[in-house]
Amino acid sequence: MNTTSATLGSSVRPATIRRVRCEMRHGYLVGLMAIVLGVTPVQMTTPPFYALLPSDYPGPLIRVCHTEYGICLIPVTIQPGAPCECVTAGGTWVSGVTVH
């Protein structure tokens, strides 16, 4: 007789003990996943390159083209201080300068 069945009584079968332990593990796993998913912030989607965004865009952008109408995400290969352009929703390109 193993120690688990001795502590629970001799009428409990080992298969029942395994099932209960498995259910407990699943319950702990579901609870842990709920905590992790609840704490993890929702990832913001990255805007497409050159799409004009408001100047106070809340998301972090690595390399930005700054225009008088707003900012846009540009490839990191463009050096700061270089001229750049952003496209408006209407399809018009506006000139700017790479700031970071």
Number of domains in the chain: 2
More confident residue, 15 or 90: 90
Per cent of the chain over pLDDT 90 is 50
Identify whether residues 73 and 95 lie together within a single domain: yes
Identify whether residues 30 and 54 lie together within a single domain: no
Identify whether residues 32 and 52 lie together within a single domain: no
Q: Which domain holds residue 86?
A: 44-100
Per-residue pLDDT at 28 exceeds 70:
yes
Average pLDDT over residues 70-97: 97
Identify whether residues 59 and 91 lie together within a single domain: yes
Identify whether residues 53 and 100 lie together within a single domain: yes
Identify whether residues 48 and 95 lie together within a single domain: yes
Whole-model pTM over 0.75: no
Q: Which residues contact 71 (CB under 8 A, 6 or more apart)?
A: 52, 53, 54, 55, 57, 61, 64, 65, 86, 96
Identify whether residues 49 and 98 lie together within a single domain: yes
Q: Residues 54, 68: contact at Cβ < 8 Å?
A: no
> Could you tell me the pLDDT band of residue 35, with boundaries at 50, 70 and 90?
confident
- As a whole number of angstroms, the longest Cα–Cα distance in the chain is 82
Structure tokens at 3: 């120690």
> Could you tell me the pLDDT band of residue 90, with boundaries at 50, 70 and 90?
very high
> Could you tell me the pLDDT band of residue 4, with boundaries at 50, 70 and 90?
low
Q: How far is the C-alpha of 70 from the C-alpha of 61, rounded, in Å?
A: 13
